[in-house]
A and B are shown apart, each in its own frame.
Chain A
Amino acid sequence: GNSVTQMEGPVTLSEEAFLTINCTYTATGYPSLFWYVQYPGEGLQLLLKATKADDKGSNKGFEATYRKETTSFHLEKGSVQVSDSAVYFCALSDQSGNQFYFGTGTSLTVIP
């Protein structure tokens, strides 16, 4: 079946530190991969996505590369800001685009 495993948190970083949140997946066929961000008191917002192997999704300084050989989609940012404090979810959709599977979320706190 399809599933997503992501790095457990919480993660606390100082401002301008490098961020990596690991995500691996299990899926049949060719899923699409997503990172969502949830700010306090809000719903999930799409941060970036990649739809085929070796695609790199990027947005707001965040990047993630679809690695089929390692079934991974790790989220990275070179220099985090206090405003990046949120919960980050890795997710995949199946080949049909009808079902979504989410990781458990990783809470990030960035301190000044």
Chain B
Amino acid sequence: DADVTQTPRNRITKTGKRIMLECSQTKGHDRMYWYRQDPGLGLRLIYYSFDVKDINKGEISDGYSVSRQAQAKFSLSLESAIPNQTALYFCATSGGFRNSEAFFGQGTRLTVV
């Protein structure tokens, strides 16, 4: 099983619908992140969480919300999806130490029509 699991892998939804992307991890890490990947823009941080009670906005949080249900689970919601939220979404975790790397899920490809 993957260390970081995202569901669903692919999703097509209609404009205005609410959608939730889920992420779970078995690394035992406190730090969890949601990124969005768009061609030519690299990865942009949406939200991050350093523990269950600590949620922080990233550079592009507008239109998104998150929930940290447990140390291992971090969900991203689009309250009312719009077409420019069509993108590849990644969840990541990190040990939070100075030299720690980030571990990524396989991504969720979201299309808003």
Contact = CB atoms under 8 A, between A and B. Distances in A.
A89 interface: yes
The size class of the interface chain A forms with chain B is 20 to 34
Contacts of B34: none
Interface string A85-112: 0000101010111111011110000000
Nearest to A90: B42
Contact of B99 (A45, A51, A89, A105): A51
A102 B96 contact: no
Given A104-B40, A105-B42, A42 B107 contact: yes
Interface residues of B, number: 27
Contacts of A51: 98-99
**Chain B contact residues: helix, strand, loop or mixed:** strand
Nearest to B90: A43
A93 B40 CA distance: 21
Contacts of A77: none
A49 B101 CA distance: 8
Contacts of B95: 97
A41 B1 CA distance: 17
Contact of B31 (A41, A44, A45, A98): A98
Contacts of A98: 31, 50, 94, 96
Contacts of A42: 106-107
B90 A89 contact: no
Interface string B18-44: 000000000000010101000011110
A3 B94 CA distance: 19
Interface of B: 4, 31, 33, 35, 40-43, 45, 48, 50, 90, 92, 94-107
Interface of A: 32, 34, 36, 41-46, 49, 51, 89, 91, 93, 95-100, 102-105
Given A93-B100, A98-B94, 16 more contacts: A41-B106, A42-B107, A43-B4, A43-B105, A43-B106, A43-B107, A46-B101, A49-B101, A93-B98, A95-B98, A96-B96, A97-B95, A98-B31, A100-B33, A103-B42, A104-B42
